[in-house]
Structure 1
Amino acid sequence: MTIQRQYSLPNCTLILEGLSDGTAAPSQFDLRPALSILMSAECRFVGQGQPLTGGRDFFESLVKAVSSYAQEFLSGVPSLAGESTQPSLVRFQRINENLHRLTVQALEPEKTTSPASKPPLPTQIDLTTVQLFDLVEAVDQFFADSQTLPELSLQLAPVSKRHAKATAPIAKRALPAAVGMSSLALAAIAFFFVPIPEIQRPRDPVPQPNASGNLATPTPSGAGTPNPNPTPSPDVTPSASSSPTASPNPTPSSSPTASPLSAEELKGSEATAAKITDAAEIEELSGKVYEQINAGWKSRPGFKNDLAYRVTVAQDGAIVGYKLISPEEADEGQTPLPELLYKPVGSRRIGEPLADFRVVFTTGGVLQVSPW
C-alpha cells in the first residue's frame, strides 16, 4: 500500500510517496506506518504552474541545497557546498534581495543510437524570500517527522572562521588600536616633561628671641593643644621658664580660645570655675571616677589608716586635681591618683565646669567614692 506524507505551507507544499519495508515498528505516540522507501517527491509553489518532481536523489539534493542556502542567506557567510567537486541536482542562486533562483538539473537519459537526441534542459524557478522560507519550513517539518525516512538526516557543520567575511574593513578595525597607542605615547611624553617633586625633610624648630633678648626654647611642659589663631596679649611676655607663677586674682579671658593652665593655676581656678550641680551628671561622674581608681588600684591594702582625698573631676570624667584630706601626711605612691591625673598638667580650659568627690581608700581594700 502506498504511503503519502504531505507538508503544507501557505506558499509551498511538499508531497512524499513511498512504501514501508515492514521492519520499523510503529511509535508509541504515532500509530502511522513508517515511510522508509521513497518512490517520488513533489514540490509545488504558489504562482508556479509546473511542480518539481523526482526520486530519492532529487529529494536528498533538494534538502541539502535548501538548508545550506538558507544558512548562507541568514549568516552572510558563503557556504562550502558550491565548492564540492560532485555535481548537485539542485542549486540555489541569489538574484537580488527578494529573488532566488532554484535550478534542478535533469537526469541524463540512457545512451541511445539516435544522433538527433539532445540532453534535457535544467528546470529553473524564481522564488521570493517568502516562498524560500516556506520551503525551509516544509523541510524542517519533514526532519521532525520520525515516521518518514527515519534513516535520512542532515549533517550540519560550522563554517571555519577563515571563510567568514569581515563586517568592517581592516582600516576601520585598526583605528581604535592606533588611537589608543597614540594616546599612550602622548601621555608618556607629557609625563616625561613633568618635573620630579623635591622632597624636603622637616626642619628642627629654631629658637626665637623674645622681647628681653633671651632665646626662648620650646619645652613640652605645659604644652597643650596649639591655638590655630593665637591672639597676642600686651600683658603677657613669653618666658623660657617652665614654672609659671599663678596670679592671686585670676581673671577669666574673654577670648573664646582656651589657654593652658599650670598646676598652681588649676588649684586656684577651683574658686572661680563653674560647679557641676546636675544630680544625674554627678552620679554619672561618680561612676566614672570609681571605675578609673578601682581599676588602677593594684596593691591593696598597703597602709595602716584610711586615706581620704578630695578629687576634682571635669565633665569628661578626667581627674584634673586631687588633695589629701586625712591623714595629713601619706605616701601618694600607694594610690593610683598620680597615674590617673590628667597630663600634661595645666592644659585644661579656663573656667571649665568641675565637680569634687570624696575618695576614701580603706585599710580593708574597699574604695569609697561620694560627692564632696
Structure 2
Amino acid sequence: MKRYLLLSDGTVFEGKPLGASGTTVGEVVFNTGMTGYQEILTDPSYAGQIVLLTYPLIGNYGINEDDFESDRIQPTGLVVREACDVPSNWRATKSIHQLLLERGTVSIQGLDTRLITKRIRSAGVTMGAICDDLDAGKEALAAAQGYDETDFVYGVSTNAPYKWGREGREGMGETDEAGRVRLAVLDCGLKFNILRRFYKSGCRPIIFPATTSAEEILSWKPDGILLSPGPGDPRRLGPVVETVKGLLGKRPMFGICLGNQLLCHAIGGETYKLKFGHRGSNHPVKDLLTGKVTITSQNHGYAVDPVSLEGTGAEVTQLNLNDGTVEGIRIKDLDANSIQYHPEAAPGPWDSRPYFSEFVERMRAVRS
C-alpha cells in the first residue's frame, strides 16, 4: 500500500503507511535531533505541523508514556525514513506505529528525508498533506487554513487552572508544601518537563489557561511568573500580550521560547518568521553577559527582531551562533528575562538547566 506526502507547490513524495490511515494537513518542518521522538510527538509547540525527523531510524527504543510532554499527540503528522517495528527497551510498552495508530495520527515512512530537508532549507517551510489518496490530499491542502493564519495556543492551553506536585497534576484545592515558592505559569503550550524541573528546584507551580487575566493570576499571590512555550505566530496573541503587560514589574518574570516572544511584544518589540526555524538539540548559543557558549534544545519558527527592542528598556543577552538570531533578552528595571530555547531539554543537553534554580533564587530574594 502506498502513502504520499504532498507539498503545497505540487511536489509529491511516495512512501509507505505509518500510523492511522486517512488524510492530514499541516506546516511541514524538520527536527534534527537524534533522539526524543516521544517528547517531540507530545510537544504542544508542534500543533498544526507535520514533523519530519532527519535521523534515519525512529522508534528503536519504543514508546512509554512516562516521557510524554503533554496528554496527547500534538503534530498533525509525522514523516520518517524508517520506523522501527520491533523496539528494544525495558521501558517500552508499544511501537511508534502502534502509538500513532491508537491516537489516529496519519504518518508516513520510507521517504528520502534528507532530500526533503534540503528542499525546506532552500525554499522555506511549506504547507503539506499526508494522504492515501492524492485527490483527497490535494482537496484537503487547498481547503486548509495557512499555519500563520491560525491561533493554536488556545487549543493547546489548559482549560482550567491546576497545581503541579510530587505526583504531577493536582487540583487547585491542594495545599502547598512548606518552603516552596509559588510560580504562576501562563500556559500557552506547556511541556510537563518544565513543571518537573521547577518542582525539583523548590517551586509550587500553579498553571493558568492562556485566557486568564493578570488580575486573576496575581490574586493567587505568586512569587514569580513563567511565560511558557507554545505554537504559532506570537503576533496573533494580542490578548495574551495584554496579560503579560499587566504582570510585568509585579513579580519576577521568566519566559521560555514563545514566552520570550510574548515578553518582546509586551514591551513594544516585534517578531518575524524564520525561513525554516530552529528545531533540534544541537544549537549553540552565546551568553553576551558571561561569554559562555551552551548547546541548546530548540523548537520555534519565529524570532525576536533586535532592532525593534531599541528604546524599550530591553537588552539582548544571548545570540544564536549559527545565524545570529536573538536567543535571550532582559529588562532589568522590571526584573524580567527570557530565553528562546528550552532549558528543560526534553530531549536535549542539560547545559541550560541552571536557569531553573537561578529563577527560583530570584523569586526567593523578592519574597524575603
The question of a shared fold, defined as TM-score above 0.5 by the shorter chain, is answered with no
Q: Of the two structures, which has the highest relative contact order with CA contacts closer than 8 Å and spacing of 6 or more?
A: 2
Structure whose CA Rg is larger: 1
Q: Name the TM tier (shorter chain).
A: under 0.3
TM-score, normalization by structure 1: 0.20
